[in-house]
A and B are shown apart, each in its own frame.
Chain A
């Protein structure tokens, strides 16, 4: 396996997010230990690791939900801040807002950011088309199926043209069929909008299916154990020998400690 530091992967890419010495302690418990890495502009990055390795803590630091103990996160060279940057977050639980219709859910983030009304409308229309919910624009989330609801959330997050879209096992609670469907959907939207996505999952197959590059975290205190470039053509096949080889390799790397 090649690592990112020394190969053509990073050559033509611009660094979007630079994480330096990211450390997080809860009291005496060291959860994240001096993590260093970068996310490139327009990259689809997956982060995998054993359960309890602090994946969610890691994302929460990135999104500034919880303060870091040490280190810095720079977005476009400036310390990350929800006020300056568009950082979007798709949670494990579906977080569509129950009192807003599909279209108002998509407008939600744009309104919070106080974009001009015309811009809001234009982006909302675009997202409705992209996630294929135009017919359901006036429905409330509880009138939709789980996968449609998660699509609403994804649309809401992509609508703000995020500098960085963080996804914390967004498909963890969906069944396999929906997951496959939404994974393809994510790839399509990501390609269409050229967003930068950091996708956390414990599902190795999912990571290899989606990622351009995979970061493997070690168990607590977490560090980045390895970087794996996934250079397979899309659409990827689960039974492609190269796919299987990568999957086994990553599984081995996660297991071996």
Chain B
């Protein structure tokens, strides 16, 4: 009895334990460090509570998270809308691949952050440029993942469909697309994390709201706990986003669920 219950509780216990150990380690280190370098967990917690009640730059902290999320999701949706079909076409159609991939290969190594100046020049310091930066980051990942997913579709499955007389269209929608769903999902997850990382980079430059703004504000006001609150928020929101996509994948790709 105890053994079985123990087995079930074990993973949860390990997770909590590792988080607690991390905080404890942080606490111990902070005892021996100048609090301006590394504020203790307690001070950061107090700061978080304070920020929940006092607005920063005229908005409370959840509103800041909301601003960042809105930018990320707008960019992400555009990236899905444009990037997925493009990647799938590149993987499916040799002509499309030949036309698009040279340009894409050239643009791919440019990090999203390098786009900041030109984005500001084109779209101004307001929402446009920030959304654009996030878009660039997640777009590239989505294209790459759907493209490689499509390239590695098992030809046997395509042949199986062909032997039934499937048209190119049926081969694409009934076989190729479902076959690359797992790699599309991997791309969706990475792209969302990337967009979330990019929004912070974008918000470090001339933003008046957003999680990145909190960090910059903390730096300007010389409040290390505030910087850390911003960073922790980023971590929490980022992992929640990833978790929600993992959940969506489990729901949409039931054949990938592990056997119980």
Contact = CB atoms under 8 A, between A and B. Distances in A.
B57 to A, nearest CB: 48
A215 B159 CA distance: 25
Contacts of A88: 163-164
Interface bin, chain B: 20 to 34
Contacts of B179: 98-99
Contacts of B162: 65, 82
Interface in A123-166: 140-143, 160, 166
B159 A89 contact: yes
A99 B163 contact: no
Contact of B163 (A87, A98, A140): A87
A160 B156 contact: no
A97 B157 contact: yes
Interface bin, chain A: 20 to 34
A108 B156 contact: no
Contacts of A100: 255
A159 B174 CA distance: 18
A112 B170 contact: yes
A112 B166 contact: yes
Contacts of B174: 108, 111-112
Contact of B160 (A89, A99, A140, A141): A89
Interface in A37-91: 63, 65, 81-83, 86-89, 91
B254 A95 contact: no
B113 interface: no
B160 A143 contact: no
A201 to B, nearest CB: 19
Contact of A112 (B157, B159, B165, B253): B165
Given A93-B156, A140-B255, 6 more contacts: A87-B165, A91-B156, A98-B179, A111-B174, A112-B170, A143-B259
Interface of A: 63, 65, 81-83, 86-89, 91, 93, 95, 97-101, 108-109, 111-113, 140-143, 160, 166
